[in-house]
């Protein structure tokens, strides 16, 4: 990975822990940073990685590393595991299918930031239900909202402000979604969830209802988008889907901005009958003239949901755990398997 990335994410105590069960060697690279698709080919970088991996049992990659191709694996006959600490669990940096054919385990520990994302999703749901963004705008504009509380009587936050007992719709049930289910429990909500890849056993385990995207959108008081951005999910929430949101609904997005059609969302927000709380938008950064910046029924945060000081060491901490498991002959917890193309 990049030298800066190593200093930021690979904490000394976890490196020392790995050194207790393995000989650790490093290769700093200045290749692609974040990738939302396979990195551009760089033969020189790939050759360096292939040479580096030749005698390794496990290879951990992150920012700065080129794609780990079948050719790289062929050059590393001892390789038993490839781990990516920042891959968003998409396998963009690793040819997962090639690894599977060779019997090489692939792991991704991007879920190190899942807990804070789930927490912020819950916070945004509550902010939206209380219409707190609009009230904050009014306060900083100098309006005197207290003690005359009659001004609140037709406010959405007064009419529908409590989360307890509401119907919450989740789009995707990955690590973030399952953590969010735990956080929602004390509010006694009914949960509708859409995730074609979720096993039926989750419905009973979490006491939720698995259903269609259409049902989630039209039957939920709060809709929380958690779906990862892939070719199949880009634009998943388009004009037809946004039109299905029930009047008074709160729409929360903590996944990726490109999952949602921004123009269609803006058009619906102009009607004033829904509230949006968005940690991610498309494009990013949000243009200064975007109407989302000034709409009273919009609350924005600058893509901070998963960015906390406590979360950053977990990416490598979890990877050290899985490397130790694989080398000890134990099944890893964060394994990636080849994915068949599918829609969400």
Give catalytic status of residue 16 as yes or no: no
C-beta of residue 320 within 8 angstroms of C-beta of residue 109: no
Give catalytic status of residue 335 as yes or no: no
HEC profile of 160-202: HCCCCCCEEEEECCCHHHHHHHHHHHHHCCEEEEECCCCCCHH
Residue 168, token pair as written in the block: 């919450």
Selecting among 143, 182, 263, 284, the annotated active-site residue is 284
Q: Sheet containing 58-61: give its strands across.
A: 58-61, 81-84, 105-108, 335-336
Query: At how many degrees (to 10) do helices 175-184 and 114-129 cross?
Result: 50
To 5 degrees, how large is the angle CA 114–CA 177–CA 344?
115
Q: Of all helices (H) and strands (E), which one includes residue 242?
A: helix 239-243
Distance CA 195, CA 234 (A): 15
- 75 Cβ contact partners less than 8 Å away, ≥ 6 residues apart: 50, 51, 53, 54
> In Å, what is the CA distance from 206 to each residue of 50, 66, 192, 303?
44, 39, 11, 28
Give catalytic status of residue 256 as yes or no: yes
Selecting among 67, 86, 194, 256, the annotated active-site residue is 256
Distance CA 223, CA 218 (A): 9
> In Å, what is the CA distance from 67 to each residue of 62, 96, 319?
10, 11, 18
End-to-end Cα distance, the chain: 31
- Total count of residues recorded for the chain: 344
Selecting among 244, 303, 335, 339, the annotated active-site residue is 303
**In sequence order, what DSSP letters do the residues of 274-305 get, joined into one string?**
-EEEES--SSSSPPTT-GGGT-TTEEE--S-T
| Secondary structure class of 252 (helix, strand, coil) | strand
Please identify every residue annotated as catalytic. Answer: 256, 284, 303
């Amino acid at each position: 990975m990049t030298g800066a990335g190593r200093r930021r994410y690979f904490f000394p105590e976890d490196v020392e822990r790995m050194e207790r069960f393995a000989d650790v060697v490093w290769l700093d690279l200045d290749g692609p940073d974040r990738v939302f698709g396979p990195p551009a080919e760089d033969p020189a970088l790939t050759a360096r990685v292939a040479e580096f991996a030749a005698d390794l049992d496990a290879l951990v990659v992150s920012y700065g590393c080129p794609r780990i191709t079948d050719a790289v694996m062929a050059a590393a006959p001892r390789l038993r595991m490839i781990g990516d600490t920042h891959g968003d669990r998409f396998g963009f940096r690793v040819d997962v299918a090639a690894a599977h054919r060779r019997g090489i385990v692939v792991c991704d520990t991007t879920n190190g930031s899942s807990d804070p994302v789930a927490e912020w999703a819950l916070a945004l749901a509550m902010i939206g239900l209380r219409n707190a963004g609009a009230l904050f705008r009014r306060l900083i504009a100098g309006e005197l909202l207290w003690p005359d509380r009659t001004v609140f009587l037709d406010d959405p936050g007064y009419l529908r402000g409590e989360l307890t007992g509401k119907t919450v719709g989740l789009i995707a049930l990955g690590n973030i979604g399952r953590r969010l289910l735990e956080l929602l429990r004390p509010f006694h909500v009914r949960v509708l969830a859409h995730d074609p890849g979720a096993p039926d056993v989750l419905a009973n385990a979490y006491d939720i209802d698995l259903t269609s995207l259409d049902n989630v959108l039209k039957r939920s008081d709060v809709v929380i988008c958690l779906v990862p951005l892939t070719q199949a999910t880009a634009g998943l929430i388009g004009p037809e889907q946004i039109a299905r949101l029930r009047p008074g609904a709160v729409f929360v997005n903590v996944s990726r901005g490109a999952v949602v059609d921004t123009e269609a969302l803006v058009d619906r927000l102009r009607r004033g009958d829904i509230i949006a709380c968005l940690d991610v938008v498309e494009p990013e950064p949000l243009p200064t003239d975007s109407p989302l910046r000034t709409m009273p029924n919009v609350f924005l945060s600058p893509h901070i949901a998963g960015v906390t000081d406590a979360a950053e060491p977990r990416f490598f901490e979890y990877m050290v755990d899985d490397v130790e498991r694989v080398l000890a002959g134990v099944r890893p917890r964060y394994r990636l398997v080849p994915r068949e193309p599918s829609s969400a």
